[in-house]
Amino acid sequence: MAASETISVALSPEILTVVHEAVEAGEYASSGDVVRDALQEWTEARRLRQVEHGDLRRLWQQSIESDVSVSADEVLDRLERKYQLMADQAAEAK
């Protein structure tokens, strides 16, 4: 593991309140642990977004190269049926 580095970060009063509340509630041992956990979650979410974008680019390219196509009317008909079914189910649930 790489050596740790200490940095200083300015947080808004609202964020500081949330951080302090999490520590006081015993959810974290220190403010640093809260920030570390938040950054780890952000890093993972960022990584997943990058993977998703890569997947979307790959799927887009595959669809361009594919001979399979669906007309706009067919797509709209399918969507109309789907949302009508959802509306019917919601009405029945009431």
**Domain extents in the chain:** 13-93
pLDDT band at 94 (very low <50, low <70, confident <90, very high): confident
The Cα angle at residue 84 between residues 78 and 89, in degrees rounded to 5:
130
Span 14-33, average pLDDT: 97
Residue 25: its pLDDT value, please?
A: 98
DSSP one-letter string for 48-86: HHHHHHHHHHHHHHHHHH-S----HHHHHHHHHHHHHHH
pLDDT band at 56 (very low <50, low <70, confident <90, very high): confident
Mean of pLDDT values over 60-77: 87
